[in-house]
Every structure is written in structure tokens, then in C-alpha cells.
A and B are shown apart, each in its own frame.
Chain A
């Protein structure tokens, strides 16, 4: 399929970007019914979804349209992942795009879930979490950060970290509040911020080290800034926020009375440096929501067990929103999560070792193939510069990679407010068994030529 030079997103059936194709924003909300057998709702929904964002807010609200969708849906499109996944199956490609493992979680956790089902834990769990899980989360947090939190007042269980993010935004952000985001970012951030009516201010992290541009950050703080959202270890770059960076952000927040929303789902996949929780910095616990989940650490991404840890007054807001988003979280999996979080240190040591080995295979492979590989200190993602291969942008490269080479990667432009900023980068994941990673590398060595 020809990819038209001026319309890099043309092959995406469902998400024409008004920015690139000149349609009014209104068109976004009318998603063309698909006549193709490929379902919009792919059978493998991936962990990290993203949107093609728009910057023109010219949406016209007309009343009395029977199928009038809310304005906020401009930010809620079907995603490149759905498209890539279906392309992948069509071409039999090895999928290093999806951010979830192709191996399963540990037996002892699965058994705990099965036991819970048999023991009848199949009815509503307490809205903000099964008491024992809240306790286990608090215990784990104490081990990780040294901070003592009250499981009853400061821990809220949600359907995955994604819901923790949504509940935090809706519970703590008012329409018009400014929220600072670092690009590239996990796409649900932008989407849920728009649900809350926030104004997004974006700071771009740039290769090779994706360091936080402190001066730029300082100048984007205004009197309307309500919160800064950080994701460390960072998806998609694998960057980990350093102590210096966190200290700078902390001072800014304390000076200007700003909250921090910290997405730390990959905290157990911290390889090259120690993971630091913002909440553990002096003066920061009282203004930080720390979010995490079971899925990445225990390779059970489909169970949807996440949580938010925050001081009581902030937790209260999170709980309000959570009560109306999902009301309660899957009961048997909460019971199993409590068991999981009490895993011995050896589990975490082995987890890191396994992923380090996988990372080595992928990184060495990508270098050998000819990519410019940026160091990834954490998560199970690596971003690389694809330009040595002569494709004009990340989307074109990924398309080529799927069809001609048989490997899936994710174009990172979807993680930026301004897609132009990501056009040289693509993201690979190594949360796959070693055999799969090796095969993908072999295919690329064979078929990907400069």
C-alpha cells in the first residue's frame, strides 16, 4: 500500500487527523463504520494506546443531533495499536509493538486467584479496595520508599493503573486547570486530561538522554498550574527521572503549590539505576499521588488491578471519581494481588534478571541491525532512531517493517502532542520470550537494509 507523502496517517482507517487531512474537528467524532472484517476492537488490545491529537479546537456543538457525541471525544480515537495489531496478524509479523508479555504470570499468583474464586470471593469488593490488599500495598510501599501510609485512608484500589490515572484526573482536576505533561507520553494521559477539561502544557524530552529541560519546565509553570504528571520509569523511552530532576520538580511544586501525579507502573523494571518515588522527597508526600499496578510486575496485564497512594485529602478525591467510574474492582484478583505483593525479594530479583537478559538480546540485535539505539534504563521498552533506513517518518517505517520485514514496532509520534517531534523514533518492546526476540532480530538482520 502506498503511503501518501503528505498524509502519513492515511493508512489508518479510523483516525484521520484534522491536522494532516484538513477535516474539521467534527469529523473526528463520527468514526466511519468499518466495512472490513477487521474489528476496530482488536482481539489483542495493547497496554499502551495513543491518540492522534488535534490542536484546533473549532468543534461546533449543535444541539438536537441524535447521535451527538460529547466534545471531549476529540481526544478519544481508536488507536494505532489496533491498526498495527491487525496489520501484524495479516502479515504474520512478530509483535514487538504491544506492551504486554507473551508469557504468563507466576503460578503462585494464579493459584491465589483460583482459590479466591472457589472460596466465593465473587461479590462486590469494598469500593476502595479489599482491606488485605490495601494493607499489602502499604507494606510494599514502605519497603520500596520507607514511607508509612494508612491503608484505609491513603490507598485506593482501581481497575488497573489506567483507572487510577483517570480517577486522579477527574477527582483532582477542574476544567481550565493547567497540567504539565512530558512528551512522549502514554496516551491515556492526554485523553483523561481532556475528560477533566484540563489545559495541557507539554514539555518534550529529547534524545539522546531524554533529560528534563528544567528551564523550559520552570517557564511553563503559571498560577493556573494544578499538577505535573511524571511517569518514571518512562514509557516509551525507558528513561528514569534522576534525583536531581526530581528535586528540581519538587522545589517547583512546593514553591507554586502544585500537585504531582506519578505513574510508577514500571518501578520494578528499574535496571540501570534505583527507582525513586517522588512521594519520598521532602515535602512531597502531601502533594503526590503515586500510581502503580499488578500487571507489569507480575505479567498479568489483563487482571486490571491498580492503585493510587496519596494523603487522605487527595485520596478522597480519587475515591469519589473511582466510585463513579467503575464502583469496585475485580474481587478474586484483588485477593491474589495481596499474595503477589508479598512475594519474596527473590521474585523481584529474578524478574529483573530475566528482563535484563531480554533487553540485552534486543538492544544488541537492534544495534547490529543498524538502528541508533537510545539507552533505556527501565521499563521493557527501547526507542531507536530509524532514519538510517531512509523511510521518511516513523509511521512509514513501521508500516514497512511489518510488511517487508515481518516485525511490529510502534511509531512514537503518537506519543507526542506534536507528532512531528516523534517522527524519527520508533519503540520496541522486550516483554516477550527470548526466542521471539531473537527471531525478530534475525528477521531484521536479514531483511532490513540501509
Chain B
């Protein structure tokens, strides 16, 4: 009965990152694979959820107040004026907001530009909608945008450009210049943009997250997607949103309504509290994550990893295996689990070689198997334990002796 599966389902595989999480659990290993915190969610937000449950706010609901607060937030952060009544769709996580945005805009055969390396879900979603993912590789080691590569990837079938910034897995925050280039192309080619800004509040070294939608000509053609998950450490609550011009937002809302009806009602209520968090909350979030970033960069660089790019945002470190470590990323991760009891994600899953591209040679692709993604959204105790476990596996040069 495999014949009963749709073509789309056959092409896609289950989340390998989640599988690594389960492996971590089974091996009692430290999970630096999946991007969720192992420290508690902020008490004021949990209390708000508890209060909502007790106040009988448990039936289908759309909490307009969430839209009002989001309108305020995008005005403050990006100078964007939106209508909270028509321009916002509350969804079950950024995941669903993104899926709905894709289904709202992609017809079979439409092309979608994605920047590589990229979060595994975008491509699957595009494929499910019958779209064609087109990958534009960012250039290592700094993950810079090569304008000519971007320009070459547009065709007359290009419908949407997906932009994830701050970026998973590299931690890159797209620069103003890069965003101007992307915006310029979108406008020139009359394409839409869908952004994934879930790490919008997690940027470092005073770098500001800029939304693509705030660039000239972009607001009218951009869907901003984001969520509570990363900003408020509640990845399991599934409250996210899409902000877009009314026609798009309405289309997204209509799809969302038929896919899930509404986001979990008590958590929408709690979102009101979350989105009213004072600036101090976000400052301390940033500070905490920055210190974790610094710790993990120092740790892994110290044990031999090649870290030429320090994360500018998100809570991921995309560390490169040094040339003299002969293991591939997958082999290395396996050894790390078995010998150190630490789980990370092999980088190759984030890279996508377009088979149709003639210019990608085997040598150029080699780097795609040399990266490992570490999530550092973990408590200080967890990160310290990682250091301890690694310290037992060092050679005379104080480098990891797993290779």
C-alpha cells in the first residue's frame, strides 16, 4: 500500500533533528541538537497560561489583542504600520504560519528561492505545496551572500524568496546591504518574500535584527512569520503568526482556519502577557544567550573546532571540523554521542545541492560535510557538563581525540 502515499509524502523524510533528540534521550546524552531550551519558561508567562485555563478560556478563540500587540511591536522594531484587524493571522507556531503562507502563494511549479544552508522544513513545505525549491548557497566561512549567485537563481517562475534571519543553522544576521540586494531583486522581479524571524530577539554584539519588510517596496510583498517559541522559551506552546498585507494575511488566515481552526486558546491569552514584556526582559534574554554563545565558542574552539564565524544571532553555533579531523560530520556526531554523550546535528542535512546546477563540483561541495550544529540554548549547568565530558577525551594538544 505504499502506492497509497502521495508523491509529496514520498519525497520527504521525518525530522532527523527530532530523531537525534530521541537518540539523546535513549543514550542519556546531552542534547545540543534540537533548538529548545532546557531551562524553564519565564514564570510570568506560565502564570498567564495557567490563569487563562482557570478562567475558562479553553474554547476556539481568536485573541485580537495579540494582533494589536504585534502591530505595536513591528512599529517599534521596524517602523512598519500595519492594521491589526486585517494584517495578522495567528497560527499554530511559526511552522504553521509558514506552511499557510506557502500554501497561500505557491501553485504547482512555482519556484521558491531558499538560502543554503537552510532549516530542513522549508523545502519540505514547498514540495508539499507542489512548489520547486531553488537553493542559493551562502559562501563559507562567513556565509556571505554572493549577489551573482542570487541573481542567477531567479527565473520567470520564481514566486517567493524565503529569508530566515537571524539564520538557522549558521547564526548569521543578514546585513543591511544584503537585505537591500534581496529587496531590490524582489521588487524588480515582482516576487513575494516570506521571512522567518523567530530569532528576532536573539542577536548579539549590539547587532540589530532588520526585517526585510522594512525595506523600500517590500512591505506590500512580504509575509513576516515569527512566534513566541524562541523569544519566550515556549517552543511547545505553538503560538505563531503571519503579518502581511491584508489580501495575503486573509488568504493565510483562511488556510489556517481549515488546517487547524485556531492556535491553542489559553496560549494565545498568555501571548498577551508575553508580548507586553518590558524591554528589560529582552535585554536580559540577549545577555544570557550571548554569554552562552561566548562560552560555547571558547569551549569548542579550545578543543580544536574551526570557528571562523561567530554567531551573530539565533542560539546555534555552526562549527567546522578542522581539516586534520578525517571523520565526516555524520561520523563525528556518532562518535560524539557514543564517546562523549553529547548530541549535535551533522551539518549536511542543512545543505541542498541542486542537481541541475552544473557549477557545483564535488570539491565545492566538500565543505557541506564539515560542519556540525550545536544548540546552546541550554542552562549553564548543561553547558558546563558538556565541557566536563569533552575534557575527558582530549589528546596532548588538548584537542578532541575522536577523529
Contacts and interface: CB of A to CB of B under 8 A. Distances in A.
A408 interface: no
B259 interface: yes
A124 B236 contact: yes
Contact of A314 (B4, B63, B106, B254): B4
A213 interface: no
Interface in A55-86: 61, 63-73, 76-79
A71 B107 contact: yes
Contacts of A163: 92, 259-260
Contact of B86 (A40, A192, A300, A324): A40
Contacts of B235: 122-124
B236 A331 contact: yes
Chain A to chain B: the 5 pairs with minimum beta-carbon distance, closest first: A302-B265, A331-B236, A76-B254, A327-B95, A123-B36
B261 A45 contact: yes
B50 A117 contact: yes
Interface of A: 29-31, 33-34, 37, 39-47, 49, 61, 63-73, 76-79, 100-102, 104-105, 110, 113-114, 117-118, 120-127, 159-160, 162-163, 166, 170-175, 187-188, 191-192, 195-197, 226, 259, 286-287, 299-304, 311, 313-314, 316-317, 319-321, 323-333
A330 B238 contact: yes
Interface residues of B, number: 91
A316 B5 CA distance: 8
B312 interface: no
Interface string B36-60: 1110110000100110011011111
Q: Residue among B58, B105, B128, B130 with the most chain A CB within 10 A?
A: B58
B380 interface: no
A189 to B, nearest CB: 9
B58 A302 contact: yes
B6 A302 contact: no
B371 interface: no
B236 A316 contact: no
B41 A166 contact: no
Contact of A120 (B41, B62, B104, B251): B41
Q: Residue among B59, B92, B233, B266 with the most chain A CB within 10 A?
A: B59
B58 A104 contact: yes
Contact of B251 (A29, A44, A102, A187): A29
Nearest to A298: B58
B108 A327 contact: no
Nearest to A195: B103
A77 B253 CA distance: 9
A159 B265 contact: no
Interface of B: 1-2, 4-9, 12-15, 18, 21-22, 34, 36-38, 40-41, 46, 49-50, 53-54, 56-64, 67, 85-86, 89, 92-93, 95-96, 99, 103-108, 121, 124-125, 128-130, 156-157, 159, 189-192, 220-221, 233-238, 245-248, 250-251, 253-255, 257-267
Contacts of B233: 122-123
Contacts of B263: 304
Given A41-B253, A122-B235, A301 B128 contact: no
Contact of B258 (A37, A76, A173): A76
Given A67-B245, A162-B258, A192-B258, 19 more contacts: A34-B85, A104-B58, A105-B58, A110-B58, A117-B49, A120-B41, A122-B233, A159-B92, A163-B260, A173-B6, A195-B258, A304-B261, A304-B263, A317-B4, A323-B14, A324-B99, A326-B96, A326-B238, A330-B237
Contacts of A259: 4
Given A30-B247, A78-B250, A122-B46, A302 B36 contact: no
